[in-house]
Amino acid sequence: MTIMTDGKRLFCALIAGCLSFSSSMLLAFDSPYDEKAASLQAETHYVIKANKNEGLEYPLDVWAPATPGHYPVFFFLTGLNGLAPNQAYDLTWKKLAARGVIVVSPEVGVKSPLATKKLGYDFVQLITWMQNNLPQEIKRKGETAVPEMEHLVISGHSSGAKPIVELYKLIHRDVAGLVLIEPVDRDPVNMSKPSVEDDEYFAYGTPLLVLAAGLANQPGHNWGKLWPPCAPDDSSSEYFYKHFAGPKWRVKALDYGHADMLERYFLTALQTTRFCKSADQLDMEPFRSFLAGSIAAFMKSQFAKISAYQPYLEQASLIPVRAEAEFE
């Protein structure tokens, strides 16, 4: 009986220790949306100048953790097929860099609005350049973040998602994840062809995160067909989501607009012109934290295999803005 009792005590002690360890591990992971989390890092921003002689056609804006370490890479194209300036997204990418991600965004400029397929092909060369040169270029800037190109996520906002999908078709084997932010596949006057045809389906198994905004399907002006919404239902986030196999997540911030993440001056211009419907009575910082936090949770759950982050993409109660989520 004494042996049995001691065995029980030992067993209970072991179980209690395991439970205690598991709880401490879960508590060690801050919410990816928390702007006061102890895990947030200092971040830095710099520009790598274009050098066509060395194969770099576009200048690159880089936001990165200032702390030494190895970090996944988030390659991002701005809205309007890359026509929107990179600095319009500065506040959001600072938040993502603080969460341990290197953000790289090419400054494409005015030649891009109709160049969807060309940009896709251009970016193949750009990704190759990054694989061969990005670590040295970052080190040359005196920075200590080391890019993990094997953990490359490609992303685009609005119609910037179209060249990203074209790029994905060409290099899907080299892509570890795909993030589409308020993606739009058609323009109001059909000036450019869609990147995803109605009968097209991508079954490569690449993890996908689609981030959406609840006001995006509402026009900025009530002028009927003269002023369509920036993200019509038939060609935006749900349309892209259904054309990809899992694993995939779609998370929608219900009270925000298509481009409400933009930096203050660009956001003011958007709201003044009412180009897109905007939540102009709300603070936009929670929306930017929602975007950065969701992307960080996606990348950490997929690459670091930290399953504790996955519920932040699946449970609306854990998201700091009013949201809905679906996943497969």
Residue type, 139: K
Say whether pLDDT at 113 is over 70. no
Q: What's the rounded mean pLDDT across residues 68-85?
A: 94
From the CB of residue 48, how many other CB atoms can be counted at a distance below 10 Å? 21
User: What is the per-residue pLDDT for 3?
Assistant: 36
Q: What amino acid is encoded at 202 in this protein? A: F
Where do the domains of the chain lie, and which CATH numbers do they carry? 37-327 (3.40.50.1820)
pLDDT in tens, 141-199: 999 999 999 999 999 999 999 999 999 999 999 999 999 999 998 755 444 566 888 88
Q: Is the pLDDT of residue 96 over 50?
A: yes
- pLDDT-derived band at 112 (thresholds 50, 70, 90) equals low
Comparing CA positions, the residue from 198, 195, 104 lying closest to residue 158 is 195
The tokens describing 190, both together, are: 């059909």
Gyration radius of the chain over CA positions:
21
Structure tokens at 8: 């029980």
Over range 69-85, report the average pLDDT.
94
CA distance 169 to 154: 12
- The answer, yes or no, to whether residue 9 has pLDDT greater than 50, is no
**How large is the greatest C-alpha to C-alpha distance in the chain, in angstroms?**
86
pLDDT at 225: 75
In the numeric block, which tokens belong to residue 80? Answer: 């309007």
